[in-house]
Structure 1
Amino acid sequence: MAREGREVRSGREKKRGMEAEVPALPPCPFRNFIRVLDSNNITPFANDATPAMDTIDNTDWDVVISGTGLPQSLLALSLSRSCKKILHVDRNDYYGGDEAALSLSEAEEWAKKHAGEASATYTNAILTQPDVQEGAGKLGFSRAYSLALAPHLIYARSSLLPAIVSSRTHSQLDFQAVGSWFTVTTEGYLTRLTRVPSGREDVFRDDSLDLRAKRSLMKFLRFVASYDGEDEQQRMQEMKDLPLAVALKDHFGMNSVTAVTPLLALALPTSVEVNTTAGFAVPKIARHLRSIGMFGPGFSAVLPKWGGLAEISQVACRACAVGGGVYVLSKGVESQTSGDGTVHLKLTGGEKVTTKWLAGTAGDLPLTLGSETQVSREYMTKGIYIVSSPLTSLFPHTSEGGVTPAGAVVWVDNPGPSIPGVRILVHSSESGECPAGQCVLYASVRGDFEVIDNAVNSLLESVLDQPRPSISWQMHYKHHVQVDNGTDPDSDKSTLVLPSLSIDIVLEDEVLEIVRVMWQKITGDSAESFMKFEAREGAEDEEAV
């Protein structure tokens, strides 16, 4: 195998015809993103710190990381300055793992591979493409699309963003604003699209609420702003187990059902309304409100350009490679045995390596690892839709003179009490995920495929854009996660089980915190130095990679 692979064109070069960009978000200058893909087996990231090799068979490592999903890639990034010998493998032939972003042709192959119901992260994949020959509904070329399997919102107050900055990888990424939140409600045979108020002025301009409901809503929002403070602890304790609608009525005098739906849109629950408690909803709403204005007026969250979390994974992997890590795709860990502080691994293809530490999510570690306990799995039904319209009405400026966002969030309220609302992330072509004149919709619900199809159709019916938007391509699948991964990290001190990302659409801070704990186990360093790197020699304010 060759020592070096090749570095392909950057994301911007590949997305020809989509050069227009949203201005960088102050104060973080996310720009100059570099996309790297593998063409051979041994890493395309090879550098002078990486010894030339024809095989990895019978080699010894300090750390072997299995899988290039976001958790594993963040661990690789955190170890990139540790002077450890790191081997990073992935059974797939692409980076990103469960958070990968796919072109159209890659999505077609992926859907065939995941069409069954085997015990895997993704199952029941079905791809549908209407017969559209001409006009706005016609698809572009395959590489013009970068469709995220697990799109996530990243709130401005997420712990990941400062870690990206302190690790000096922010200069290789573009982050764009997720602007407005909307609700879609059904009234008889009509659907109505309503923008969720984002502040006091918006609340009082909302003509769907009467004056009493507006005052009650403002009273509730003031409580949310300080719900975790000492003065509000007693009231929070009293209402935390109540359904949100009941808590609003009993504690804030809000009798308007209309006011509940916008709050559900901010909380983004996965359960039905009656099971969405104030204890769940209040912290979620607070997270949204506290993030508004942190990077610019009028928006609270961002999305990574060119393919979501997969882009962060690739940048993190590249940083580790610059530090000497070796990357091998199409190669997973098949089995492992431990003894005397050494882990013996057998890889796909028969190579055998040894390491002091083995790390990965449960799905990327050998099935023989840990105790054989009953695994509890839950899933979310998801759909990706390419729409033949820019849906410009969903992307108003975040504020006067503010940026034009590349993302929007839609909560489609279901009239039936037994079906939860459908969450839809809408990404414009400025996200780099589709050609100009189109949008990508990511829908998810705890329900069946028909529920999300109906929700997407309701959204498109409620949008007044002309010509009427239509669906040019769609893919359904089920996204599973293990509630109990069946392994005990303490059963093998040399094996570190990273958490898979949740099936939710908001990136939680717990992932980075667990990565920090495992980084400390490997390095023995203090938490204060986690992800805090100095500029490399020869680089100025940003990494030269």
Structure 2
Amino acid sequence: MAAEDLPSEFDVVILGTGLAESVVAAACSRVGQRVLHLDRRSYYAANWASFTFNGLLSWIQQHQEESLPEEVQDWSGLLEEGEELIYLSNSDPASIRNLQVFCYTSEEDEEEEAVSPGPSETTEEEAVKETSETESADSKDEEGNHQAVHTQGEEPEADQPCPSAAPSQSQPTRKKISYAQLVKEGRRFNIDLVSKLMYSRGSLVDLLIKSNVSRYAEFKNVTRILTYRHGNVEQVPCSRADVFASRQLSVVEKRKLMRFLTSCVEEMEEHQAYSGRPYLEFLRNQQLGDNLQHLLLHSIAMVTEDTPTEEGLASTRHFLRCLGRYGNTPFLFPVYGLGEIPQCFCRMCAVFGGIYCLRHSLLCLLLDMSSNRCKAVIDSRGHRISCSHVVLEDGYVLANRKRLATPPRFVSRAVLITDSSVLPSDSEQQVSVVTVPPIAAGCPVVRMVELSPSTMTCVPGTHLVHLTCQSVGSAYEDLSPVVTRMFHTPESPDRGSRPSVLWCLYFNMADGWGVEPEGHDLPSNVFLCSGPDAALGHDHAVRQAESIFQKILPEEDFCPPAPNPEDIIYDGDNSSSSTAGGLEEPEEERQEEPEEEHQEEKQLLEEASSPAEE
């Protein structure tokens, strides 16, 4: 809708289209609230967004430009008696910092040997040079080229055409991807600003199924969990079959691992004795060798050495519960990137009457001083809009409204485009997650997600790699040592058989976990949503959205199922007896019998109780 045609009254006004804000918008609209959803940006999903390669270059350029001081306008003429203005910020420069771009591939197309000398490096300015000649960041969102409105939870059909992976090194020659090709094929990339995965029994998947929003997207299984140890990348056995097929574990290690995982399924008195003590200490006392301790700590529980035992065991149990629901690992990834998920909830909001305006913002809130509630907002066109509740992305709140709290935390991010996989295989469908332990004292644990072209996030002949860690220094300082070890760059001591980095981006992003919703001096009916956090899953954002919704509408159901189009009955249409309340669960859930819900754990129990084979 055009901004000048906006109604002057809504129930809920939401500023920012991140995941939490989008879930709140969908939930409110679904139960009949009049929702206005705005974003000052030209694209959806805020810091949760996915960009084409060319769109990412534009995003980089925007964040490298020095922002001009905001011009504060006087809107006191719109005040009524007993009202006060609360001004908002129209930019959030602190959420992204320390951007560094490197291009290690050639500028123009050229034929090269399969094993070529080290690629040339260009400066950051050269890497972003062509941005102004490429498409803008919102081209993907506004033109709807993603078209991800299909089925939920399954991989593409076997006969569906999928982009091929990079050819093996046994081939004598191949065409090396140049920077010009990356720009030319830029629309075929979907590059996430955040790197997360969806636990198959996590809160986000449950919400997608419950609300029926899952029908707006497609998902792929994460096919491999890998580990990095002693300079080698190896596959981690997840299921019972994987454990006994593993070549990295001895027969004794296999049985010890099965017995330990079996013992983790239920809480035991022995576990409580280690409460507050490090999980690594607990693992050592279980007579597990260094190899199994490494796998359990870093690749299954995915925690650090000083994580408390109760938290490590909870993470291990969650990993086991998620196995087997949709595939051989606990994780799913949305085709076309994580930026699809906020947009899916925005679609649901729009279906039930929500109104959207991009490149549109709020300048200030109008406070009713007698009730300490926000009664209206003023948008970027100077229009006064009455409302009952306001939901804000936390970056819009000025510093003078923030109470003194702990220093903000940051997440270090790196995005790489590489020419092959860190662990080549015959399959073209691999989606991998790797946890890299600290490579030296004081270094952070790094999580790496590698996406193949089958996820529709990169072009054939490339892989898209995301690295994430809690910030210690700048993103380059935190992550470049890992990139240098696991990939080939000009800084690498030797080439070996590692993938070459064609292009990479480093940046720091504000960690949404540390944002305190109550740590701001705002009216009682104004609620804040934080940005992405450093965790692998989406639990923080989903909990935040549900909490805000319950404060706004405590008597309403959070995201009840949306009816399928074929289930809707129109006035005078008696051809169908289906109703919106009679929706069935997704097919994947219907096929799963209740008694098989913990099938993986039962298999572990059977194996652990069988006669020893050592």
> What TM-score range do you get, normalising by the shorter chain?
0.7 to 0.9
Which of 444, 448, 472 is the equivalent residue of 2:468?
A: 444
Alignment of 1:65-84 (within 5 A): 65-84=14-33
CA contact (8 A) 1:184 1:458 kept: no
Alignment of 1:179-190 (within 5 A): 179-186=223-230
State the shift of 1:76 in Å. Answer: 1.1
State the shift of 1:295 in Å. Answer: 1.7
State the shift of 1:425 in Å. Answer: 0.3
The secondary structure found in structure 1 opposite 2:314 is helix
Alignment of 1:372-521 (within 5 A): 372-389=403-420, 393=424, 405-446=429-470, 447-448=472-473, 449-460=476-487, 469-482=499-512, 483-485=514-516, 487-488=518-519, 492-508=523-539, 510-521=540-551
The secondary structure found in structure 2 opposite 1:87 is strand
Determine the structure 2 residue equivalent to 1:21: none
Alignment of 1:267-286 (within 5 A): 267-269=301-303, 271=304, 273=305, 275-286=306-317
> What amino acid is the match of 1:459?
M
- List per-residue Cα deviations over 1:11-59 (Å, max 9, x = no partner): xxxxxxxxxxxxxxxxxxxxxxxxxxxxxxx3xxxxxxxxxx7343x81
Unaligned runs of 5+ in 2: 67-91, 111-174, 489-494, 571-577, 585-614
> Closer, same or farther in 2 for the Cα pair 1:512/1:209, shift >3 Å?
same
> What amino acid is the match of 1:525?
E
CA distance in 2, matches of 1:350, 1:184: 55
CA distance in 1, matches of 2:202, 2:4: 41
TM-score (norm 2): 0.69
> Closer, same or farther in 2 for the Cα pair 1:142/1:311, shift >3 Å?
same
> Closer, same or farther in 2 for the Cα pair 1:194/1:240, shift >3 Å?
farther
CA distance in 1, matches of 2:215, 2:18: 21
Which of 525, 532, 538 is the equivalent residue of 2:561?
A: 532
Determine the structure 2 residue equivalent to 1:147: 191
Alignment of 1:74-473 (within 5 A): 74-115=23-64, 120-132=94-106, 133=108, 134=110, 135-138=175-178, 139-140=181-182, 141-186=185-230, 191-227=231-267, 232=268, 234-250=269-285, 252-254=286-288, 256-263=289-296, 264-269=298-303, 271=304, 273=305, 275-296=306-327, 298-308=328-338, 310-339=339-368, 340=371, 341-365=373-397, 367=399, 369=401, 371-389=402-420, 393=424, 405-446=429-470, 447-448=472-473, 449-460=476-487, 469-473=499-503
CA distance in 1, matches of 2:281, 2:497: 42
State the shift of 1:87 in Å. Answer: 0.8
CA distance in 2, matches of 1:216, 1:320: 50
CA contact (8 A) 1:116 1:123 kept: no
CA distance in 2, matches of 1:120, 1:406: 36
> What amino acid is the match of 2:318?
R
CA distance in 1, matches of 2:559, 2:359: 30
Radius of gyration: which is bigger? 2
> Closer, same or farther in 2 for the Cα pair 1:67/1:381, shift >3 Å?
same
CA contact (8 A) 2:433 2:448 kept: yes
Unaligned runs of 5+ in 1: 4-41, 43-52, 397-403
Q: Which shifted more, 346-355 or 386-395?
A: 386-395
> Closer, same or farther in 2 for the Cα pair 1:526/1:479, shift >3 Å?
same
CA distance in 1, matches of 2:363, 2:454: 40
> What amino acid is the match of 2:10?
W
CA contact (8 A) 1:390 1:437 kept: no
> Closer, same or farther in 2 for the Cα pair 1:524/1:415, shift >3 Å?
closer
CA distance in 2, matches of 1:279, 1:495: 36
CA distance in 2, matches of 1:152, 1:525: 32
> What amino acid is the match of 1:428?
S
Q: Which shifted more, 329-338 or 479-488?
A: 479-488
> What amino acid is the match of 1:123?
R
The secondary structure found in structure 2 opposite 1:284 is helix
State the shift of 1:148 in Å. Answer: 0.2
Q: Which shifted more, 87-96 or 441-450?
A: 441-450
Determine the structure 1 residue equivalent to 2:131: none
> Closer, same or farther in 2 for the Cα pair 1:374/1:277, shift >3 Å?
closer
CA distance in 2, matches of 1:417, 1:165: 43
- List per-residue Cα deviations over 1:395-434 (Å, max 9, x = no partner): 85xxxxxxx7552101223342332332100011111111
State the shift of 1:500 in Å. Answer: 3.1
CA contact (8 A) 1:380 1:480 kept: yes
CA contact (8 A) 1:64 1:358 kept: yes
> Closer, same or farther in 2 for the Cα pair 1:469/1:487, shift >3 Å?
same
> What amino acid is the match of 1:374?
A
> What amino acid is the match of 1:239?
Y
The secondary structure found in structure 1 opposite 2:348 is helix
The secondary structure found in structure 2 opposite 1:54 is helix
CA distance in 2, matches of 1:501, 1:240: 29
> Closer, same or farther in 2 for the Cα pair 1:225/1:136, shift >3 Å?
farther
CA contact (8 A) 2:189 2:457 kept: yes
The secondary structure found in structure 2 opposite 1:80 is helix
Determine the structure 1 residue equivalent to 2:4: 54
CA distance in 2, matches of 1:239, 1:342: 49
> Closer, same or farther in 2 for the Cα pair 1:206/1:65, shift >3 Å?
same
